[in-house]
Structure 1
Amino acid sequence: MAQEKTPGVYIKELPAFPNSVVEVPTAVPVFIGYTERAMRGTTNVTNMPIRLTSMAEYMKIFGMGPTPEYTFAVDDAGKITLTAEANSLYNLFNGMRLFFDNGGGPCWIVSIGNYSGDEKAADAFGDKVWAALKKEPEPTMVVIPDSVLMPSEADYKKIWDKAFPHCIAMQNRIAILDVFNGFKPRNSDDGIDVISDEKVGFRQLIEYDNMSYGAAYYPFVNTNLFGPTDVNYLNITKDSRKDLADHITKEFSGAADKVVKAIKAYLDTMNGDDTSDGVVTKTHQALASISETYKQAMLDLMDAMNLQPPSAAMAGVYTRTDNEIGVFKAPANTGIMDVMSPAVSISDEEQQDLNVPLDGKAINAIRSFLGRGVLVWGARTLDGNSQDYRYINVRRTLIMLEQSIATAAESYVFASNDANTWLTVRTMIENFLNNQWKSGALAGATPAEAYQVDVGLGSTMTGNDILDGYMRVSVKVAIVRPAEFIVITFQQKMQTS
């Protein structure tokens, strides 16, 4: 401002309003996994967190999805079996599609490698990734769809042994987990309960100091991401295409020579080296129109490729719920876009152990209901025995309140530690909490029942605190809890007339 030494008119603008608390973003996931490439312009961004807002932006930097391959075989009963080539599977691209289709918005991506076809290694999700993410305060969720593609449960655990403690240490984000082998029922033929097995069950693999910073979902889901035009014989390994060709040949063993000759030409092309789009499309369409064996193989391929872990879709559901209602609303009793059915049907009785286990490691079920479709039917964190942090929305709302208030309070660092500052800080926080109460995030008939803010000498601080440079603020909030169990009591009333 100009000094008042020259005669004239001087204007001084005085602040009319005090500082305010601004609500931090609540639904900004970071996705970690394999991508086709990781190039922004000429810069390799592998292991670097990159912020983006759309699927188009993702494809520009990280490329397209993989081409998964399956081994074709037919058993003695004539049933087709397709076995996935593990090194050709990658979940991140499809997860991003589910995220955006379910209401996702701004997010971060960390590419830890490309579609090399090599065996996946937990070490790729190492310290370099987590060191980079520590520098980014915006992400509020950690999602790793590729973790379920690790060669073993031990590798899966190794990834989360880094990711989950990262969330606990940062205190501003939660982990959304998929169950390893979550496409299997708990009573599968191999005798392994993917949830509670004493050696490789999910609850044995996931054990940390503060389990409220994570939520898990089961089972996997059958999606509609891939349609008839998205699969062809290139999704079958080249070696097993010969077996497919043999079975198609048998299918036409009694046909006219002209037909057999035409079929053989198509099969030779299928087993050949020409993989140009035009040739593949023409051959695929011809075989699909005349061969029941080929048609069934493609349908089975479609089903296999549409099987996806739910974590990325749930990140989208969180975002949609936050945007439509608020972070205080439990992300449950809501549908999942692009999902046709859960991979495993779960009954009310079967969900009891998932939702209220003795060890508190609650797993949220994804279930199908007649007339309502596929719904998220659980809203608990992995700390289900905690009265404070049992519910996902409570944990996430508290993170939002903590981070919002802490960010606003930074402007008072090195301010005079006196009554004027204490009053300003208390008023600032109370105004913010009052707005949260009005929006429905806090429970109580009056503001006094919903929150309480204390700061000052004799209430939250001693004289020594002030001498040592501490300003201590106490904030108490009554966060709304979801109505998880609704009990309706009926009683017949005696007729009176």
Structure 2
Amino acid sequence: MSMNIATPGVYIREINSLPPSVAGVSTAIPAFIGYVEKAERDGLGVPMCTPVRITSMLEYESLFGGAYAQPFSINIADTADIPVTSSSVIETRTITVNQDTADSDFRMYYHLQMYFANGGGPCWIVPVGVYSAITIKKGALQKGLVALEKISEVTLLVVPDAVSADLSDLDRKAIYEDALAQCEGMKNRFTVMDVPQSATPAPVSDGNTFRNNCVGPDNLNYGAAYYPYLDTTLNYGTNPLLIQVASYTINGVPDTAFDDVRDFNTDVSKALQGTKDALSYLMVATETLSEEDAKAVQSIVTTVNANVTSAGNLVGDLPPEFELAGDIIEAILVDTVGSEGEMVLAVSEAADFVTTTDKTNANALKTALQKLLYELETTMTKMADGYNDPSTEFVGGNLNYLRDNQPSVYTEVMSAVAGYRVMLNPSGTIAGIYARVDTNKGVWSAPANVGVRNVIGPSVRVTNQQQGELNVDALSGKSINVIRNFQGRGTIVWGARTLEGNSNEWRYVNVRRLFIYLEESIKRASERFVFEPNDANTWVNVKAMISNFLTGVWKDGGLTGATAQEAFFVNVGVGTSMTMENVLAGEMIIEVGVAAVRPAEFIILRFTHYIQE
């Protein structure tokens, strides 16, 4: 740079003696795409398919809520015997817990728990719907994938809900193929997939179904699949309002009026939970005002209204001994279930919201639902106090009464519920393991032969022969990595192959991800030279910058070779990587070659019988 020297004096010109450096990009920043309990920040809804960056489980819970509440039913049987030889009463209590419904397909919360427990750090969440959506939809997950094209920091794609029973194999194929196509197009990310596990798991059969029906033939080196599901140590998400006491007997005799009280309690509980769901959905709908969201809110509100009306009708059927409780509850519900009540008005406003998608109507509906929520919560509190017949131990339908009046029974029930553990597809866990291996060893290390945290074990014990058929497939080449349990070692990830398992270049996960890391790091560092002169000075700086970066990777163990020259090469300039025609066209072409470290999957020991001379 020339200096305009017009005045006598001393002038200083600072000259950079060192080339610019390459800053390595982050390597394990996953994006989780799926359904959440809510989507709310600072009192405002987060529009669906809006990527949000988080750094902890606490932050996830504040923005997106908790796990889907798994319904349970409880049967309690108390016996009180007075033995002949003693005047002391011996009480025996039997508590039976039943899982009312199959595991919910909404599993995102559990995957985040496993991700952070296994070493995960910052990640992105893409909410595509809330639990009130009832079913998981292919189109919503695909929209979430499209939204991630704008986020360059993401390096891993995880779609835990893709194994949902709501989706067909054809739906899964469309989702996974979209993810792989995005990885190949952007060349800065990798997809972690789950192999759906059948109701009666059969490793080889499940693997073949996945290969044939759930993933196509293209872009396979940008993804890896894992099997089987994991028996985790996680407890199900619960809600005391949804844990129903189906029966309560004392010496074989049911409590008085139990059926009516239980039915009433059940309806009010469902209405309360539904109102919370509707409010969560409405927080999002008021941001987007889409007709699809509006219809979903209307459907929920209509169901809530039906449950509250049903509960109100039961008040008059309760026995005389519960007259006080009936009066309390009827007074609370009268404005809600009456012909001129708030809920009827709310449903009417919901219909207007669908047809006009008017934010004023949406806010009016939100106000009505908030009032209903308050009334229902008050109902549940009053019910715990009002339904307290001194002649019996318990007459409530859910756990509110037990929690407030019989804490010892409540503790026993919750302990029994905690005995149920979540079985989970492994993709979220694997994303955490990728992050842990990257931090401890480097992205060039195979994410295998490492322990899985927070698990009891794999849900299926895979044999050596079965793993051989999953690991190597001569026809499709779609390798499937297996999670296994070894005696004395615990649960281990025992495989590190991409779906392109027959490729000599891209067979291994760590090789593919190493090249993503190198390419993205060098690409970003080279952008500073876009408008620099395309001459020898620039070429020298570029070559020195990349060479210094690759030397550091080689010294850290990321490249193989006794010397740096054996580990990599960098060519840039006329006669090596480009011609004068390229220079005149404004093209600076850089050639980089690296020798990646590959895992020794098969260690072969040769023994020769040595005959003594």
TM range (shorter): 0.7 to 0.9
Question: Corresponding residue for 1:220?
Answer: 229
Return the TM-score normalized by structure 2. 0.68
2:101 to 62, 84, 96: 84
- Aligned-residue Cα RMSD (Å) equals 3.2
Question: Corresponding residue for 1:388?
Answer: 505
How far has the Cα of 1:167 moved from its partner?
A: 1.5
Looking at structure 1, the residues matched to 242 and 425 of structure 2 have their Cα atoms a distance apart, in angstroms, of 20
Number of residue pairs aligned between Structure 1 and Structure 2: 460
2:607 to 484, 490, 497: 490
Name the amino acid aligned to 1:426. Answer: K
Question: Corresponding residue for 1:354?
Answer: 470
Distance 1:263 1:164, change over 3 A: farther
Alignment of 1:52-91 (within 5 A): 52-69=54-71, 82=99, 84-85=101-102, 88-91=104-107
Q: For residues 202-221 of structure 1, what are the alpha-carbon distances to aligned partners after superposition, in whole Å with 9 as ceiling and x for unaligned? A: 44320142100000100110
Question: Corresponding residue for 2:529?
Answer: 412
Question: Corresponding residue for 1:322?
Answer: 438
2:207 to 166, 172, 195: 195
Question: Corresponding residue for 2:132?
Answer: 116
How far has the Cα of 1:46 moved from its partner?
A: 2.2
Name the amino acid aligned to 2:101. Answer: A
Contact residue 33 and residue 145 of structure 2 kept, 8 A: no
Question: Corresponding residue for 1:149?
Answer: 164
Looking at structure 2, the residues matched to 232 and 45 of structure 1 have their Cα atoms a distance apart, in angstroms, of 26
2:401 to 267, 279, 282: 279
Name the amino acid aligned to 2:401. Answer: V
Distance 1:12 1:114, change over 3 A: same
Q: For residues 360-417 of structure 1, what are the alpha-carbon distances to aligned partners after superposition, in whole Å with 9 as ceiling and x for unaligned? A: 1111001111000000000000000110000000000010011111111111112211
Looking at structure 1, the residues matched to 150 and 524 of structure 2 have their Cα atoms a distance apart, in angstroms, of 15
Question: Corresponding residue for 1:14?
Answer: 15
How far has the Cα of 1:182 moved from its partner?
A: 5.8
Distance 1:211 1:343, change over 3 A: same
1:336 to 431, 434, 452: 452
Looking at structure 2, the residues matched to 4 and 280 of structure 1 have their Cα atoms a distance apart, in angstroms, of 89
Looking at structure 1, the residues matched to 467 and 410 of structure 2 have their Cα atoms a distance apart, in angstroms, of 44
How far has the Cα of 1:151 moved from its partner?
A: 1.2
Identity within the alignment, %: 39
Looking at structure 1, the residues matched to 239 and 49 of structure 2 have their Cα atoms a distance apart, in angstroms, of 33
State the SS of the aligned residue for 1:346. coil
Name the amino acid aligned to 2:466. Answer: E
Q: Is 1:207 aligned to 2:216, yes or no?
A: yes
State the SS of the aligned residue for 1:286. helix
State the SS of the aligned residue for 2:131. coil
Name the amino acid aligned to 2:189. Answer: R
Contact residue 232 and residue 284 of structure 1 kept, 8 A: no
Distance 1:106 1:269, change over 3 A: same
346-355 vs 452-461, which deviates more? 452-461
Name the amino acid aligned to 2:17. Answer: A
How far has the Cα of 1:312 moved from its partner?
A: 0.5
Alignment gaps of 5+ in structure 1: 74-78
More helix by share: 2
Q: For residues 120-163 of structure 1, what are the alpha-carbon distances to aligned partners after superposition, in whole Å with 9 as ceiling and x for unaligned? A: 21111234x33431111110000011111141323322322322
Question: Corresponding residue for 1:457?
Answer: 574
Question: Corresponding residue for 1:29?
Answer: 30
Contact residue 226 and residue 480 of structure 2 kept, 8 A: yes
Distance 1:284 1:266, change over 3 A: farther
How far has the Cα of 1:43 moved from its partner?
A: 5.0
State the SS of the aligned residue for 1:448. helix
Contact residue 71 and residue 84 of structure 1 kept, 8 A: no
Looking at structure 2, the residues matched to 72 and 124 of structure 1 have their Cα atoms a distance apart, in angstroms, of 36
Distance 1:444 1:83, change over 3 A: farther
Looking at structure 1, the residues matched to 256 and 11 of structure 2 have their Cα atoms a distance apart, in angstroms, of 93
1:177 to 193, 215, 219: 193
Question: Corresponding residue for 1:105?
Answer: 121
2:425 to 309, 319, 329: 309
Distance 1:28 1:295, change over 3 A: closer
Looking at structure 1, the residues matched to 46 and 401 of structure 2 have their Cα atoms a distance apart, in angstroms, of 34
Alignment of 1:118-133 (within 5 A): 118-127=134-143, 129-133=144-148
Q: For residues 333-386 of structure 1, what are the alpha-carbon distances to aligned partners after superposition, in whole Å with 9 as ceiling and x for unaligned? A: 001110111111100011001101121111100111100000000000000011
Name the amino acid aligned to 1:312. Answer: G
Question: Corresponding residue for 1:76?
Answer: none
Contact residue 307 and residue 343 of structure 1 kept, 8 A: yes
Contact residue 183 and residue 220 of structure 1 kept, 8 A: no
Looking at structure 1, the residues matched to 68 and 238 of structure 2 have their Cα atoms a distance apart, in angstroms, of 12
How far has the Cα of 1:98 moved from its partner?
A: 0.5
Distance 1:210 1:456, change over 3 A: same
Question: Corresponding residue for 1:438?
Answer: 555
Contact residue 457 and residue 463 of structure 1 kept, 8 A: yes
Alignment of 1:263-302 (within 5 A): 268=262, 272=266, 273=268, 278-279=400-401, 281=403, 286=409, 289=412, 298=417, 302=420
Looking at structure 1, the residues matched to 201 and 567 of structure 2 have their Cα atoms a distance apart, in angstroms, of 43
Contact residue 184 and residue 344 of structure 1 kept, 8 A: no
